[in-house]
Amino acid sequence: MIEFNGKQIATDTQGYLLDVNDWEPALAPIIADGEQILLTDAHWEVINFVREFYLEYKTSPAIRVLVKAIGQKLGPDKGNSKYLYTLFPIGPAKQATKIAGLPKPAKCI
């Protein structure tokens, strides 16, 4: 559960939103705070990417797919694990999807 603008937003026990439609950009820094991440433009680029990926394919991308898809769209300097782990140290697939208001990826590898 997250308190936001006087609303209660339902999450699972690990903090992932239960309904993707509850998310709005202003919520991202609050979720990111819980992950001890201060959002920069570089973070936002990935967050927007995973959210668009989810809305198109209805699934949260696993890390291998995330790396590949980001490489295709944003170039090889960003489509690699090292870059993504710099932004999201615990795990890009786990953390970027959480901050983007998406369900936890079933395949966290």
Partner 1 sequence: MKAIAIIFRQSPHGNAAGREALDLALMAATYEQQVHLIFIDEGVLNLLGNQQPELIGCKDYIATFKALDLYEVASVIVSEVSLCGFGLDKTALVYPATVADDGQIRQLLEQVDEVLVF
Catalytic residue positions, numbered = 108
Task: Map residue 14 onto helix, strand or coil.
Answer: coil
Tokens of 74: 């944003």
68 binds partner 1 (CB under 8 A): yes
- The number of beta carbons lying within 10 Å of the beta carbon of residue 57 is 11
Would you say 32 or 100 has its CB closer to partner 1? Answer: 100
Task: Map residue 4 onto helix, strand or coil.
Answer: strand
Which of 48, 62, 91, 104 is in the footprint of partner 1 by CB under 8 A?
62
| 3: enclosing H helix or E strand | strand 2-4
Q: Are 66 and 60 in contact (CB under 8 A)?
A: no
User: How many residues make up the chain in this entry?
Assistant: 109
Would you say 101 or 105 has its CB closer to partner 1? Answer: 105
Which of the stretches 14-22, 29-37, 44-52, 64-72 binds partner 1 when contact is defined by CB under 8 A? 64-72
Report how many residues bind partner 1 under the rule CB under 8 A: 14
**Smallest separation (angstroms) from partner 1 to the CB of 12:** 16
Residue ranges in contact with partner 1 by CB under 8 A = 53, 56-59, 61-62, 64-65, 68-69, 106-107, 109
